[in-house]
Structure 1
């Protein structure tokens, strides 16, 4: 009897310990959520924690998804390319190394040729307009075939990218001759080269040291990125014009999305698409305006060319770059002219 009693006590103790080892989390409504019911999604992006993309887009987005899922979805954010290299983030997402990835299509040159048509000069004057244009092109099926290996959440884009140098004024294309200028994409690189400059491909995370050491003479970047990566500390002459716009994408691993229950898929879906594209655009535009104002207040040289496609100095170089890109894309067997026409239509409809 004593032996049976001791065995029963031991078993009871064992089950008690096992039961206590199952941890519970408390959601925002104060309801306990069993840890086994929580799905954690790892999000990789390239921006620093001080940037608007991190603070004003991804952090609130992750919090909203957690709240609407009653704590059953959690998003761990890895900024500054700490989880995946910037140029490998899309592939890492498609393969499942990353659950959600946010990156620029221009970092995987040639992978998204139709999407990058939206980057061409003169199509956008704000991130809000770029985001709306890109999301429209995706929703209408004009570029959706380029994302079939992932579950696309929403499109993003930069504010218009201008030219920024340490101290060399860029009033006309010939002023770029002999300068080493960071290009954000092949499109911008073609235009820089057509103008006589030397385009240099570098990820945004390497730009500060490259500019500081004289590896670069200037940059082609939007104002939001200039501020996020603290590049306005080193550049004091700025040519403000819609030289190009960078396309960005926020997308999810297909298998991970498919593994979610229908109610959790709905939470993701409710925080995707055009509404999120607009939210992201407004945040980026506010960031761009803030850093441009800071540079002006500091006394930096500002050169404004608001309509370069109708500027006699810039029109030739920009049109040459545009036609080269469209021709190269057509040579791939893709209907670039149709997508360009649709991009112009979406641009007009999305104009703020």
Structure 2
């Protein structure tokens, strides 16, 4: 795999994004080709990275782009827009469906408002390990979900799962009983249902807006992926961290997506390259996510936060609430949702 950073050209930065990253697109081109390149735009909400440092999700899309450009001899080139610098976070899924955006690495549960089945991508307690989540791709649940998304105009190139943890301003959030009276960002409609059942008030906002919400006191605690806890610098505000290392009831599907309209217009050879490289990126995504599950504890501890880990009994408490609330609610939405829930439960942990 090419790590030739001379292939990455960064135009003058346009604006500052949260976490202090410069939100300039990275234009990835393979030099020496005689053919005009088709340039595709990749948008995501996460901070920009540099080389081997920084948010692994940004590094994943840059690796993907560089490798596809290399293997197509420059016939495909890419512009990477981190930090929601091309369009707002919540607009990206709709733009993919319409062909107005080419690719995005996107928390799939954010699309639940317009595509309710997508909420299975952040269903508390349903996925409890990386291997279980990544097994979806070859199991009936993954095939059914992929078909559903393609029917909505979106295609998965890389399955990326991330465990999550909780950053709290003051009081730790470990077991369900801790949630009572707290204002918490859960990350999905279904996680919000579980938190409300435990006695919390909930806030619905993208993870890149969590820093300001916690800073202003609008939010007491935020649940998000380990990588986002680091990238959005929540250790600056939190005195408590509950990690997702080892065990977690919070796993989010955050795949690399391409507009099906865009994909279908590409020559078969280019489609095959994108599909192959997308599959190869899964190992990088898993390694990056798992590394951050450990790194987040180190970052928060260094900043003075108290660190907590989950045990099996506590995870089961959360799962019990989820089964009685979110799982039932989701399954009752439609026959498609009920089928996805059934198939997901058939994948062993």
Over residues 22-50 of structure 1, what are the superposed CA-to-partner deviations in whole Å (9 max), with x where a residue is unaligned? xxxx975x63423xx31000111111104
- The corresponding residue for 1:99 is 102
Corresponding residue for 1:22? none
Q: Distance in 1 between matches of 2:237 and 2:217?
A: 11
| Distance change (3 Å), C-alpha of 1:209 and 1:134 | farther
The residue number in structure 2 matching 1:172 is 175
Decide which of 211, 234, 238 is 2:237's aligned counterpart: 234
Counterpart of 1:5 in structure 2 is none
| 1:259 match | 265
How far, CA to CA, are the matches of 1:167 and 1:254 in structure 2? 45
Structure 2, unaligned runs of 5 or more: 1-27
1:57 and 2:56 are equivalent in the alignment: no
1:342 aligned partner: 343
Matched-pair contact (CA < 8 Å) for 2:44–2:83: yes
2:143 is aligned, of 120, 140, 144, to 140
CA separation of 1:139 and 1:125: change in aligned 2, threshold 3 A: closer
Of 216, 219, 222 in structure 2, the residue corresponding to residue 219 of structure 1 is: 222
What is aligned with 1:305? 310
- The structure with more radius of gyration: 1
- Asked if 1:203 corresponds to 2:202, the answer is no
- Deviation at residue 118 of structure 1 after TM alignment: 5.0
Contact kept, 8 Å, 1:27 with 1:70, in 2: the verdict is: no
Q: What is aligned with 1:83?
A: 86
**CA distance in structure 2 between the aligned counterparts of 1:300 and 1:135, rounded to whole angstroms:** 40
Deviation at 1:239, TM superposition (A): 2.2
Give 2:12's aligned residue: none
Offset of residue 215 of structure 1: 1.2
Mapped to 2, the partners of 1:112 and 1:155 lie a distance apart of: 18
The within-5 A match list for 1:307-346 is: 307=312, 310-311=313-314, 315-316=316-317, 318-334=319-335, 336=337, 338-346=339-347
For residues 278-289 of structure 1, the aligned pairs below 5 Å read 278-289=283-294
CA RMSD of aligned residues (A): 2.6
Hey, what's the Cα distance between the residues in 2 that align with 1:135 and 1:47?
Answer: 28
TM-score, with normalisation over the residues of structure 2?
Answer: 0.80
Deviation at 1:335, TM superposition (A): 5.2
User: Do 2:240 and 2:305's aligned partners in 1 also have CA atoms closer than 8 Å?
Assistant: yes
Deviation at residue 98 of structure 1 after TM alignment = 0.6
| Alignment correspondent of 1:42 | 41
Deviation at 1:128, TM superposition (A): 5.6
Q: Give the corresponding residue for 2:297.
A: 292
Q: For residue 325 of structure 1, report the CA deviation from its aligned partner.
A: 2.3
CA distance in 2, matches of 1:77, 1:295: 29
Query: Shift of residue 234 of structure 1?
Result: 1.0
Q: How many residues align?
A: 314
Deviations 1:195-224 (A, max 9, x none): 111111111221111111111111112221
Residues 281-304 of structure 1 deviation map (CA, whole Å, 9 limit, x = unaligned): 222222332222222344421222
1:138 CA drift (Å): 5.6
State TM-score, norm by structure 1.
0.80
Consecutive unaligned residues in structure 1, runs of 5 or more = 1-25
Could you tell me how far apart the structure 2 residues matched to 1:190 and 1:94 are?
28
Give the aligned partner of residue 162 of structure 1: 165
Partner Cα distance (2:115, 2:331) in 1: 13
Give the Cα–Cα distance (whole angstroms) in 1 for the partners of residues 317 and 335 of structure 2: 25
Task: Name the counterpart of 2:195.
Answer: 192
Q: Paired residue for 1:17?
A: none
SS of the residue corresponding to residue 70 of structure 1 reads: coil
